[in-house]
Amino acid sequence: MKSIRLRLMLWLLFPLCGIAAIVSLETFYSARKVSNELSDKTLLAATLTILENVISSNGSLLADATLDTLTENLGDRFFYHVRGPDGAFVTGYVGYPRLPSDRVLKIGEPLFYDGVHLGETVRVAQLQRDLTNRELNGVTTITAWQRITQRSTLTLSLFTRSLFRLLLLVLAAAAIVWFAIRIGLRPLVQLQSAIDRRTPYDLTPIKRAMPQEVAGIVRSMNELFARVARSKSNRERFIGDAAHQLRNPIAAIKVQAEAALQSRTKNDMRSGLQQIIDVSNSSNHMINQMLSGATAHAMDRSQESSFDLSKLLERTVAQSAPAAFAKDQEISLDGATIPIHFTGNETLLKEAVGNLIDNAIRYNAEKARIDVQLEQSAKSLAISVQDTGPKFSEEEFLQFTQPFFTGDTGQSGSGLGLSIAKDIAKSHGGYLKTEERQDGKAICIILPKH
């Protein structure tokens, strides 16, 4: 079912048709009941007329004029039978439909039942009266019956009229539903028109006012546009940064390669080749960091998983320890003794913590102390990397978290470590901050507690 309009029409009209069918059955039975009641009342009136005529004529046959009048009023052929006291035949037609064995006739109370006369179904009315008359003295039974053709015709007429009105009502409801659906779905058509008019480069949010049921779709589309715009911006930023940052290393590699080719001694050539390797390693490290930053910007829920944050810190510190020991530095981990489960991108968080530790190792002197701590509160988790190096202000910290900013440190580096850590923390709903400590400073990753 590809059409929402048709789906709504069917879901609305099918129940409506079902209700109409039930109402039609109820209408038919109501029409038959009304027809039966009217026929029975008319038949009773004819029975009473026969009784009065028999009393006044002392048991004679009905006059032809009277019989014709009754037949005309009843609308169908009419028969009657009168039995006097002790079951004696008084007047009328012979072979009247007998009273069913399960029915009991009481004096003064009319009784109606269906019977068969001359092979046709008839409706019968029977009445007993206790008469005091010269010719009829005692309990007299009057039986009147007629064919049910007129009654069936009346039932069909009543049912047909009701069914015609019900059909008109269903058709009117279908027309109203159709136009209501067209009007109700108009915002979707307008939304489609607004999207069709957009160019592939237009990722601005849709600001068209929409009903509540469609507002969620528009909100999701705007969020998708925002993610695509961020991805596009990050891609352009990555391409621009890569082109800018790789220009000098590539040029240096070319110059060093040319110098190596012109070297006259084996040692000069080896030195030139070693310089090429160093520049290549530095460029490779920078590219990996740039890719990590781009991944942090493009991260979504599908890349998240649950992991033990304490184990992650243990592995990261263990991998960074050899570099610290090479500079005769001390490095320790505190607060990661119990499992702390966190939902996020494990690889990126490991990259962020590793960058903070790498900066602390790179920009601190020999015999410095580096402490990695994991702390938790009711609402947040804090991963801090403390060192004994020089402190810096908030303004300086903001500069250091900008991409490719290294400052005047004299140390080699891409200037991406803190920038990537900030982006990864932000992609996990957290942030990066600096704190002054008694023996130096600490850079902290603050994450929301899940």
Domain with residue 66: its CATH number is 3.30.450
Q: Is residue 184 predicted with pLDDT exceeding 50? A: yes
**In the predicted structure, residue 151 carries a pLDDT above the cut 90:** no
User: Which of 136, 156, 176 finishes a domain?
Assistant: 156
The pLDDT mean for the chain works out to: 80
% of the chain exceeding 70 in pLDDT: 84
**Across 378-387, average pLDDT:** 90
Q: What is the pLDDT of residue 65?
A: 61
Residue 447 has pLDDT above 90, yes or no: yes
Residue 192 lies in a domain: no
Stated length of the chain: 450
317 compared with 277, residue with greater pLDDT: 317
3-state secondary structure of 200: coil
Mark whether 260 and 312 lie in a shared domain.
no
Least Cα distance to 371 among 319, 411, 416, 321 occurs for: 321
Q: Are both 26 and 136 inside the same structural domain? A: yes
Strand-pair partners of 140: 129
- Confidence check: pLDDT of 324 > 60: yes
Q: How many domains does the chain have?
A: 3
Given 112, 141, 156, which residue is the final one in a domain? Answer: 156
Mean pLDDT across the stretch 186-192? 81
Residues 120 and 216 in one domain: no
Residue 73 pLDDT exceeds 90: no
| Boundary (domain end) residue, out of 251, 277, 298 | 298
Q: Name the percent of the chain lying above pLDDT 90.
A: 8
Looking at the fold, whether 327 and 424 belong to one and the same domain comes out as: yes
Whether 82 and 59 have beta carbons less than 8 Å apart is answered as yes
Mean pLDDT of the region 174-191: 82
Q: Are residues 291 and 316 in the same domain?
A: no
Q: Are residues 19 and 137 in the same domain?
A: yes
Residues 412, 308: one domain? yes
Is 23 inside any structural domain?
yes
Residue 186 lies in a domain: no
DSSP 3-state of 197: coil
Structural domain that includes position 384: 304-448
For residue 63, is pLDDT > 70? no
Tell me, what CATH number does 341's domain have?
3.30.565.10
**pLDDT above 50 for 75:** yes
Name which of 81-85, 118-122, 300-304, 437-441 the model is least confident about. 300-304
Same domain, 291 and 254: yes
In a domain, 32, yes or no: yes
Cα-based distances in Å from 364 to 281, 359, 373: 22, 8, 18
Q: How does DSSP assign 386-443, residue by residue?
A: EESS----HHHHHHHTSTT---S------S-HHHHHHHHHHHTT-EEEEEEETTEEEE
pLDDT given at position 410: 47
Looking at residue 354, its pLDDT comes to: 87
In a domain, 199, yes or no: no
Has residue 183 been placed in a domain? no
pLDDT tens-digit map of 405-442: 565 454 555 566 788 888 888 888 899 998 888 778 89
Answer yes or no: do 285 and 308 share one domain: no
Arithmetic mean of pLDDT, 23-37: 84
In CATH, what number is assigned to the domain containing residue 216?
Answer: 1.10.287
Task: State pLDDT tens for residues 243-270.
Answer: 665 666 677 777 778 777 777 787 877 8
**Predicted confidence band at 1 (pLDDT cuts at 50, 70, 90)?**
low
Distances (CA, A) of 42 to 30, 70, 77, 90, 429: 18, 10, 13, 23, 87
- In this structure, the answer to whether residues 29 and 130 fall within a common structural domain is yes
Burial class (CB in 10 A: 0-12, 13-18, 19+), 242: middle
How high is the pLDDT of residue 414? Answer: 53
pLDDT for 420? 81
Same domain? 346 vs 281: no
Asked whether residue 205 is domain-assigned, the answer is: no
Q: Tokens 């263990």, residue? A: 318
Q: If you average pLDDT over residues 359-379, what whole number do you get?
A: 88
Q: Give pLDDT, residue 296.
A: 56
Using a cut of 0.75, tell me whether the model's pTM lies above it.
no
> Quick check: is 196 in a domain?
no
- Clarify whether residues 144 and 232 are in a common domain: no
